Structure 1
């Protein structure tokens, strides 16, 4: 995502493209890498009352503390923009890491409970090898709308491709409507938006770039 020589069909060098616009970009690798190996870490963590997010949150606390200490970084304007599993991170980590002033969830926003438990929907995790997805007591606590409420009043955006197989547009729009209503009822409607685009599970980098320029108060090139 940051190497200008590599055109990945999902990431489209978006960190590099944002750097060209004058943003400081930092692209850490979260622990979800290596096939099933990170899932084995999760299984070992669960008897200790931990999840993969226990490590990821601490990782981002350290990262943002370090970034905030750099002389070329404004600690009040640290934003998170994640794709796919990074989109999952965009829903969870900014809730707990105060350094992040806004969050963008790309290619992941969903009706999350249905995504985990449906035995009928072909995109449900019941039909995939991603056995790490169910989270304890999720159905009684937070769906994605409720997670976005915890990000509020900070700006929050969803980037959604019509052909993204994580869910149908209708389910994404259904869940996001609750996010939108929450912001509007608080008089903060200008701080949230969703962009639908004609494409697959990928960074689009159009409306989201505009969102970053507007809310980070950074001039466009």
Structure 2
């Protein structure tokens, strides 16, 4: 497009006039724009919060006559959930590489799988008894936003829960996802422009890793679980509806009354706004509260862990959301497949309960 000198002067002049508008007094314009912002906020919050239950009733058509019927009846919702995450198509572009990797006194492997311009990276560790003759179940262990694949093997909020899993006879696959609020904010902006999401990209990376790792004869490919803490808990809840190979899960420090968490500010719990824009996804609250997402995981067993001192949520609201989630399992006459570990602590993994739950459903010989 070409511009003449006169047209450039006109454009420049318009910019000056627009920036120095003296027709409307600033005080009047501020009142006007504040009122418009309030209209928009009220309109959207009404849609997200006040109209959610009515909208949800129309969006779901669950059939609890048997487990397969429920799975089939939520398939349209599952397809819409996939649109929320919008996972991209990635293809393997080379073989899996492995190198010995020490985690203190634990010997594991650092593995990398090329996926075109991306790579899928993880720590992979087997318990001592794993062999071709005795394949073991495997747990995808997902770290949170401020952590690394090594964190679940360390003290702190993770309480070395990856070691607890190894001691219980599980192999551990600990993928590396992008950490830090600033990094995830930046990449999520690009992802939205590209019609995808960072959790969608990271889901596909893990799926490709599972393709390769589950082919290892030391792994029992029919016994796969996942346990994530914080943003790793988000990954567990986000991915299980779309990855049927994950047979059971533990979610620590994420499960919530999602409508309140994302759209209702309160001194009772922390908010992702305004700093963590990476945590807002297109279409999430159209029909996918946490209890609704759980219905796409059922009838697979799931444990939800929350600490009363964890300010990500107001714990009575977590209990209320859990009861809604449990209702899906009760209607299937399988209430034992969902548990809430409500503990007095904070934002952390509760190791013994989580390991026991996964052992019951994936490794009963170790009970």
- TM-score of the superposed pair, with normalisation by structure 1: 0.92
Contact 2:236 2:250 in 1 (8 A): yes
Aligned with 2:175 (options 6, 11, 28): 28
Cα distance, 1:138 vs structure 2: 2.1
Q: Deviations over 1:66-104 (max 9, x none)?
A: 221011111111100000000101111111112101111
Provide the secondary structure at the position in 1 that maps to 2:358.
helix
Structure 1 residue ranges (4+ consecutive) displaced by more than 4 angstroms after TM superposition: none
For residue 214 of structure 1, what is the aligned residue in structure 2?
Answer: 360
Contact 2:249 2:358 in 1 (8 A): no
Aligned with 1:65 (options 211, 216, 219): 211
Distance 2:184 2:286 in 1: 26
Total equivalences in the alignment: 219
User: Is residue 2:253 matched to residue 1:112?
Assistant: no
Contact 1:4 1:13 in 2 (8 A): no
Structure 1 gaps, min length 5 = none
For residue 162 of structure 1, what is the aligned residue in structure 2?
Answer: 308
Contact 1:81 1:104 in 2 (8 A): yes
Cα distance, 1:139 vs structure 2: 2.2
For 1:11-160, what aligned pairs fall within 5 Å after superposition?
11-31=158-178, 33-125=179-271, 127-160=273-306
**Which range is displaced more, 177-186 or 116-125?**
116-125
Q: Deviations over 1:143-169 (max 9, x none)?
A: 111111101111111011121111111
Distance 1:150 1:193 in 2: 16
For residue 8 of structure 1, what is the aligned residue in structure 2?
Answer: 155
Provide the secondary structure at the position in 1 that maps to 2:345.
coil
In structure 2, do the counterparts of structure 1 residues 98 and 126 end up closer, same or farther at CA, with 3 Å as the change threshold?
closer
State the structure with more CA Rg: 2
For residue 178 of structure 1, what is the aligned residue in structure 2?
Answer: 324
Cα distance, 1:49 vs structure 2: 1.3
Distance 1:126 1:203 in 2: 21
Q: Deviations over 1:29-49 (max 9, x none)?
A: 222x14412221110110221
Distance 1:120 1:34 in 2: 24
Cα distance, 1:140 vs structure 2: 1.7
Distance 2:355 2:272 in 1: 34
Cα distance, 1:8 vs structure 2: 2.8
Aligned alpha-carbon RMSD (Å):
1.8
Distance 1:143 1:124 in 2: 18
Cα distance, 1:123 vs structure 2: 2.5
Distance 1:7 1:128 in 2: 31
Provide the secondary structure at the position in 1 that maps to 2:347.
coil
Distance 2:169 2:285 in 1: 41
- TM-score of the superposed pair, with normalisation by structure 2: 0.57
